Amino acid sequence: MKKVTIIADLPDMLREYLDQVVKPREIPSQEEIKTYLDDSESLDDSRKDIIEGYLTRKLVNIVIEQKESLTVWDWLGPWVPDASHKIYLEDYYAYQFVEMLPQIVGRAQSLTALVVKNKPSEEIVHILREAFKSYIYGLYVACICICRCVLEQLLEEKLKDKPVPIGIYRRPDGREKGKFEALIDRALHEKILDLPGSAIAKRIIKRGNDAAHDGKASEREAGKVLSDIHVLLRDYFLKKDL
């Protein structure tokens, strides 16, 4: 197998390149701004314009950051239109990506690929990719909730031609089951899942519900859910005899 050489300082190289692109746009560094202010006697119109450009960039970046929550403080209103400018957005997200790159690579390395003879459907592949990308980009709530969607799709695909046993949607005490509980029980009844597999499926549902309700999740929790999906794919849904 051919060896791959990895450039360890790639983020630094990208950051240096970005600096070369951004600086010609007359965006001074904090050190340059401090020098201009310290030398207040020579603060001519040209330097005032440079300082104004620097402060504008900082305020626009704040707007872009707040825009990700779909809300922006009213006092930042004058800079909201600029926050949609392509140049500002390119600079902001390019630097953000470079800062995240080591963590993205680390998380991608931590996930193992499943070698299979039976590929999932295109729909499953699509949402699995979304779960993977959410994880490596640090969007752990999204990752866990998408994994819950993956499980739902897997169960529905396997059960689409299976008859629904009478009473499968009700518990022994007469209470109605939730959709996921009914799907897992049907999969257990049809021998698509066994007891250990159904326990894993229920764990994914619980973690998905917790993440959706709490609005927070850790990298460790998201990793565990991806690992559970990995086991279900390997041992149940993509087995050759199913």
Q: Dump pLDDT digits (tens) for 21-41.
A: 765 554 556 666 666 666 656
Total residue length of the chain: 242
Q: Dump pLDDT digits (tens) for 198-238.
A: 999 999 999 999 999 999 999 999 999 999 999 999 999 98
Query: What is the percent of the chain where pLDDT is above 90?
Result: 43
As a whole number, mean pLDDT of residues 63-81 equals: 89
Does pLDDT of 103 surpass 60? yes
Angle between helices 122-136 and 86-110 (to 10 degrees): 100
Distance of CA 162 to the CA centre of its chain: 34
Q: 159: burial class by Cβ within 10 Å (0-12, 13-18, 19+)?
A: middle
Q: Can you list the domains of the chain with their CATH numbers?
A: 10-100 (no CATH), 111-237 (1.20.120)
pLDDT of residue 118: 79
Q: Dump pLDDT digits (tens) for 159-194.
A: 888 766 555 555 655 566 678 888 898 899 889 999
Q: How confident is the model at residue 42 (pLDDT cuts 50, 70, 90)?
A: low
pLDDT of residue 240: 59
pTM, two decimal places = 0.79
Q: Dump pLDDT digits (tens) for 140-154.
A: 999 999 999 999 999
pLDDT of residue 162: 74
Rounded Cα distance, 85 and 240, in Å: 52
Query: What is the percent of the chain where pLDDT is above 70?
Result: 78
CB 85 within 8 A of CB 198: no
Q: What are phi and psi of 160, to 5 degrees?
A: -65, -30
Q: State the average pLDDT for the chain.
A: 83
Q: How confident is the model at residue 133 (pLDDT cuts 50, 70, 90)?
A: very high
pLDDT of residue 13: 84
